Amino acid sequence: MRTLLIGCLAFGIVTGTARHLAVGAEHVDVYHEPGRFGGWPANHGMWSWGNELLVGFSAGYYKDNGPKRHAIDHDKPEEHLLARSLDGGATWKIENPAKQGALIPRGEGLHGTELPGVVDREWRDCPGGIDFTHPDFAMTIRMSNHHGGQSRFYTSTDRGHTWQGPFKFPMLGLKGVAARTDYLVNGPSDCLVFLTASKSNGREGRPFCARTTDGGKSWEFQGWIGPEPPGYVIMPSTVRLAPGELLSAVRVRDGDPSWLEAYFSPDDGKSWSLRSTPAKTGEGNPAAMLVLEDRRICLTYGFRAAPFGMRARLSDDGGRTWGDEITIRGAGGGRDLGYPRSIQRPDGKVVTVYYWNDDPDETRYIAATIWDPDAPAE
C-alpha cells in the first residue's frame, strides 16, 4: 500500500476564515484497483474497537460518464465490500461479506445489477433481541431503489466478520426512506437512527430520527431534523453531546449552493433547532462528525469545487462556532471524491476514510488520512 506524507503550506481565506493544511498528515490507500470504482464510505459506515477499524464501501467498475457524473459503470455489478485495519489505519485488508450471503446490493443497489454467483438472503422482519451494547456490535443501514423506497439493516456481534439480516426497516408512514448508516446506542435494546425521508412531494429529501426500544423489532418516528426544505437536506451524521443532547450535521442544497448545517436536539431526537452552518462544500458532500476524547467536535467533509480536497473543522462549544478550516488532504483531481467517515484512535489521532481521485480521468479509490487534531496547522 502506498503511504504519503504532507508537510507545511499556508492557504488563503475561504468564506471569511483562514484555511490551513494539516501538518504531518499521512495518506494511505485502502482500496485502489485499476479499472475499479471505489466509493461512498459515508453510506456504509465505519466502526472501531481500539486500533481495529472496519469501514464499508461500494466497489464498482470505472467508466467516464462526464464531468458531472460519478465515474462508475452502471451496466456492471456493484459490490459492497469491507476494509479492515488491525493497526489503526496504517494497513488494510479487503473482505467480501457477499461470500457469506451478507451486505449484498441484490440488484436493487444504486445501479440495478446482480452479482454473479451470489445468492442473496430475503429481506425479513427483525425478530428483535438485538443487544446494541454488545462490545463487538456493528450495524449498517442501507437504502434501496426497489422495495417501494424501503431500507434495510444488518447487524453483527463479531466485529463485522458475520452479519445478520437483511431486516426490513419500516416505512413509518413516509413515502420513502433513504438510509445511510448513522446511529447512536442508548442501551441494550434502545437505539436511535438518523435517516433521510422523501419530502411531502415525494422528492429528496428531509432527515429524521427514529428509535427502537425493543431490540430492533419495532421502530418509532422521533422527530424531523429541521423543517421541510425547498431543495434537499440529507445524510445526517450525529453525535451525543450529553445525556439526551444530540448534534447532527446534514448536507444541504438549494439550487447551486451547497453547505452543511448543524442541528441540536435537547430531547433525544424529538425536536431540533438549527445551531450553526459549519462549512460550504462546493457542489455538495456529506459530513462525518465525532466527539473527540477532550469533548471537542471534529467535522470532516469533502470539498467538491476547486481546489478539491478533504477538509475539517473543530468546535469547542458544542457546535455553536467552528475553528478555521483545515485541509487534511489537498490536490484532489476533481469533484468525484469525499463521503467520509472518521474515528479517533487511542493515541488521539483521527482516521478519516473517503473516496478519492488524483485525476478526473483516473480510477476512483478508497483512501484514509491519519491526522492529529492537536498538531499546529499552517
Show the DSSP H helices in 96-207 as ranges. Answer: none
Preceding amide of 376 cis, omega within 30 = no
What would the mean pLDDT of 126-153 be, rounded to a whole number?
89
What would the mean pLDDT of 87-107 be, rounded to a whole number?
88
What would the mean pLDDT of 141-150 be, rounded to a whole number?
75
Q: So what's the pLDDT on residue 5?
A: 34
What's the per-residue H, E or C state across 221-283? EEEECCCCCCCEEEEEEEEEEECCEEEEEEEEECCCCEEEEEEEECCCCCCCEEEEEEEECEC
Q: So what's the pLDDT on residue 191?
A: 98
Q: pLDDT tens for residues 152-175?
A: 999 999 999 999 999 999 999 999
The ranges assigned to domains in the chain are 3-371
The CATH class of 3-371 is mainly beta
Q: So what's the pLDDT on residue 118?
A: 66
Three-state secondary structure call for residue 364: strand
Q: pLDDT tens for residues 204-216?
A: 899 999 999 999 9
Contacts of 140 (CB under 8 A, 6+ apart): 44, 45, 56, 103, 153, 154, 163, 181
- pTM confidence score: 0.92
Three-state secondary structure call for residue 68: coil
Residue 146 pLDDT > 90, yes or no? no
Q: What is the mean pLDDT of the chain?
A: 90
**C-alpha span between 239 and 106 (Å, rounded):** 31
What would the mean pLDDT of 327-346 be, rounded to a whole number?
96
Please, how many CA atoms are within 13 Å of residue 259, restricted to the half-sphere of its CB?
11
Q: pLDDT tens for residues 272-322?
A: 999 999 999 999 999 999 999 999 999 999 999 999 999 999 999 999 999
Residue 60 pLDDT > 60, yes or no? yes
Q: pLDDT tens for residues 183-232?
A: 999 999 999 999 999 999 999 899 999 999 999 999 999 999 999 999 99
Q: pLDDT tens for residues 17-31?
A: 566 888 899 999 999
